[in-house]
């Protein structure tokens, strides 16, 4: 699971607190088991859905609040950063308030913040509410898994995880389709309002079924200084990446100040976390080869993957004439192979070498992105659909094997902290990957636009012929020039997207080296349960 608990600086000096996994109560039966599984799955589905449903709505949101689509991606990155920061606190919060109470509270607060997101009338308001939404969402996924596992007999843990895993795989399929349809046929605020009835139903069902199964609570110290430093460096770095292009990067005193704040607070954070008795994240885990190489490979790959997931619908809607619905249809098939293959991967991850499985995933990701790097302004829907469909196979072999590698060899009491830290790094790099991809896209497009216009000479050659043809069709001089500029921009942004896709393909192939720096996990595995939380 993704929960993290503070661990001691010296195991001999102070025993680490008990992990967030409670003592196993009696399994549920009959209708209670079915309804409990449904309630927890609904909350997980809603949470994962919210990370993908906004992707196809970014152009519509940006237009409504009067900002550029690249600024509109803050709606995605703000949620991811806040979510990443709150994940490591799940263990401490669970032991302070109890798993059932914390989960129910998180779902209700998620409903409230979703409602507020729908009412936002400016980008600033929407980003603020998305930050709050991401922060309260942190405990939902790890605790839904914890409570679900406690509902089934130990012998049925695999069944429970399979049911749970299906919701995390179906949501990315439904998200773009539902988000696109709602944006085109109703209005974008409803992508947030739909969380209200789902969340309320999940909270009521969860509390009525699980309130008598509350986990023990106790007061534990919390690393407030470490948490403050964590918020400072992550927040400053993300803000720098989001605002950099708008403020002309290091020509701006604001960007320089944010960079200094990020570097200094990060350096102090590392020193503090390595010396504190109860660190908010246990950085000593990076001394283990499998954890270091596995979590870095997983996190960088996820950042590259998520950046491309956001970039593709932006390109389709801004420059290829796709509606939100058709862009959602182009993205939806990514889950088909993932849903089919994930149960196989879950069963075989302890039999096959997970390093080979992860290598296969990275090779397929490389192939998919290389195929996308061949796109042009004439690419049709079927050509866009094929790599998306293939990508689902890579996703199935991506999360579970890499998380198994990352957590291999860890004692049981350190697994919650390790899973929490791994997920924190992954989610953070996912948000940063979005900012980097969209910024590079615009920079490369500006470069390609300049190169394309270099060859055009006013009054001569193709430029003169095109201009005359448009004017003879009834356009004024200004309208004809604007139309030509639009066509050049379309080519420039398509070429820029191809650059990002190609560079991303190369990065996936290069990351294979990190996978093979790890040792093969023991044959009995053990990371599969944790891997499900990687979504």
pLDDT at site 361: 93
* Contacts of 40 by beta carbon, 8 Å cutoff, 6+ apart: 144, 147, 148, 151, 164, 202, 206
pLDDT at site 1: 37
The Cα 402–Cα 406 span in angstroms is 6
Give me the DSSP letters along 148-164: HHHHS-GGGHHHHHHHH
The H or E element that residue 430 is part of is helix 415-454
pLDDT at site 172: 67
DSSP state of 528: H
Regions in the chain scoring below 50 on pLDDT: 1-22, 525-535
pLDDT at site 534: 41
| 93: number of Cβ within 10 Å | 22
Q: Which two three-digit tokens encode residue 336?
A: 């088909």
pLDDT at site 460: 63
pLDDT at site 344: 83
pLDDT at site 523: 65
Q: At what angle do helices 334-348 and 399-407 cross, to 10 degrees?
A: 40
pLDDT at site 446: 92
Least Cα distance to 4 among 80, 136, 137, 95 occurs for 95
Least Cα distance to 502 among 365, 331, 315, 360 occurs for 365
The Cα 18–Cα 468 span in angstroms is 76
CA 400 to centroid of chain Cα atoms: 16
The dihedral sign for the CA sequence 490, 492, 498, 503 = negative
The Cα 276–Cα 223 span in angstroms is 8
Determine contact, residues 358/397, Cβ cutoff 8 Å: yes
Where does 245-333 have alpha helices with state H?
253-275, 289-319, 324-331
The Cα 339–Cα 396 span in angstroms is 8
């Amino acid at each position: 699971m993704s929960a993290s608990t503070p661990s001691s600086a010296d195991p001999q000096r102070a025993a680490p607190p008990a992990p967030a996994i409670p003592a196993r109560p009696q399994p549920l039966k009959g209708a209670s088991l079915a309804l409990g599984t449904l309630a927890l799955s609904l909350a997980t589905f809603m949470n994962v859905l919210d990370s993908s449903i906004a992707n196809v709505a970014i152009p519509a949101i940006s237009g409504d609040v009067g900002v550029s689509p690249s600024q509109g991606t803050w709606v995605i990155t703000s949620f991811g950063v806040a979510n990443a920061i709150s994940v490591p606190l799940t263990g401490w919060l669970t032991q302070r308030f109890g798993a059932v109470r914390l989960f129910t509270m998180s779902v209700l607060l998620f409903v409230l913040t979703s409602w507020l997101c729908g009412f936002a009338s400016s980008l600033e308001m929407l980003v603020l509410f998305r930050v709050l939404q991401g922060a309260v969402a942190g405990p939902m996924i790890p605790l839904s898994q914890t409570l679900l596992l406690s509902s089934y007999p130990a012998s049925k843990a695999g069944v429970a995880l399979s049911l749970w895993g299906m919701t995390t795989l179906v949501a990315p399929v439904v998200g773009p389709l539902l988000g696109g349809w709602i944006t085109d046929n109703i209005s974008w605020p409803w992508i947030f309002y739909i969380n209200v009835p789902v969340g309320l139903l999940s909270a009521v069902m969860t509390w009525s079924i699980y309130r008598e199964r509350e986990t023990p609570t106790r007061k534990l110290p919390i690393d407030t200084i470490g948490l403050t430093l964590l918020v400072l460096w992550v927040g400053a770095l993300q803000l720098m990446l989001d605002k950099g292009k708008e403020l002309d990067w290091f020509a701006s005193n604001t960007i320089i100040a944010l960079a200094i704040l990020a570097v200094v607070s990060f350096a102090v954070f590392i020193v503090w976390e390595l010396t504190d008795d109860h660190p908010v994240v246990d950085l000593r885990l990076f001394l283990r080869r499998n954890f270091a190489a596995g979590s870095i490979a997983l996190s960088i790959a996820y950042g590259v993957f998520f950046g491309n997931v956001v970039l593709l619908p932006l390109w389709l809607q801004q420059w290829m004439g796709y509606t939100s619905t058709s862009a959602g249809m182009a993205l939806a098939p990514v889950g088909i192979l993932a849903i089919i293959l994930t149960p196989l991967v879950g069963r075989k991850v302890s039999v096959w070498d997970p390093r080979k499985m992860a290598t296969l995933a990275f090779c397929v990701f490389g192939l998919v992105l290389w195929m996308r790097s061949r796109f042009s302004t004439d690419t049709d829907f079927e050509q866009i659909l094929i790599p998306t469909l293939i990508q689902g196979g890579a996703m199935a072999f991506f999360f579970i094997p890499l998380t198994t590698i990352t957590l291999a060899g860890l004692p049981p009491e350190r697994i919650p902290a390790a899973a929490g830290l791994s997920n924190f790094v992954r989610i953070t790099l996912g948000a940063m990957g979005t900012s980097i991809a969209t910024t590079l896209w615009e920079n490369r497009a500006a470069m390609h636009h300049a190169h394309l216009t270099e060859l055009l000479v006013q009054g001569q050659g193709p430029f003169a012929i095109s201009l005359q043809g448009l004017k003879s069709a009834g356009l004024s001089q200004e309208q004809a020039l604007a139309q030509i500029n639009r066509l050049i921009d379309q080519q420039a942004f398509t070429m820029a997207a191809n650059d990002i896709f190609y560079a991303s393909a190369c990065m996936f192939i290069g990351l294979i080296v990190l996978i093979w720096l790890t040792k093969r996990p023991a044959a009995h595995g053990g990371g599969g349960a944790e891997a499900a939380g990687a979504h």
